[in-house]
Amino acid sequence: GNSVTQMEGPVTLSEEAFLTINCTYTATGYPSLFWYVQYPGEGLQLLLKATKADDKGSNKGFEATYRKETTSFHLEKGSVQVSDSAVYFCALSDNTGRRALTFGSGTRLQVQP
Amino acid sequence: NAGVTQTPKFQVLKTGQSMTLQCAQDMNHNSMYWYRQDPGMGLRLIYYSASEGTTDKGEVPNGYNVSRLNKREFSLRLESAAPSQTSVYFCASSEKGAMNEQFFGPGTRLTVL
């Protein structure tokens, strides 16, 4: 079956530091890949996505590249802010008729001033 | 647009009690989903509905039932609540064929004593 593995948190960084959150996946076929963000007390919001190999998703300074050869979709940001503190979820969809998402366990990011 | 709305936001039940979690979306989406979120486990799919009048089981359906009342509404029912159902429940919706981007509600935090 499908699965997503994320690095465990929490990740604690100082403001303006470089961020990497690792994500690897197992899936059949050609899944679509996503990063969702959850701010405290809120639901999940789509941060970025990529639908085929070598695609780069980007949004709000975050980037992730769909690497089929390494089955990875690592999230990066060059300079984090306190407002980026949240839980980040990597997810995939196997593009079957169900179109449901398989999520990783989430990585909590804490950015200190 | 309100997006995806869920009621209630919080609920405390005693073991054996029943309740229904309500979800509605105003984006005219065909597909709707119920997930549960547990610490360290990401989100897991309980049930989904690909279109009005259809429902299907996800990864963890035991102890739950669902109703797709119309295109807008998708409810989740716990017939006899158990402590293992203590969790945060999220409803989501997506447009068929829209590269699987899902829109999430704010969640319902349920505690079963």
Rounded mean pLDDT of chain B? Answer: 92
Distance separating alpha carbons of residues A65 and A93, to the nearest angstrom: 16
Percent above pLDDT 70 for chain A: 96
Which band of pLDDT confidence, cut at 50, 70 and 90, is reported for residue B69?
Answer: confident
pLDDT digits (tens, 9 = 90+) for A86-99: 999 999 987 666 66
Please, what's the largest Cα pairwise distance for chain B? 41
* pLDDT over threshold 90, residue B76: yes
Q: Which residue of A has its CA nearest to B96?
A: A99
Best residue in A37, A98, A99, A108 to probe B by mutation, most B CBs within 10 Å? A99
Contact B99 A49 (CB under 8 A): yes
Look at residue A44 and give its three-state secondary structure. strand
Average confidence (pLDDT) over B75-88: 96
Which one of A43, A99, A106 has the shortest CB-CB distance to B100? Answer: A99
B45 touches chain A (CB under 8 A): yes
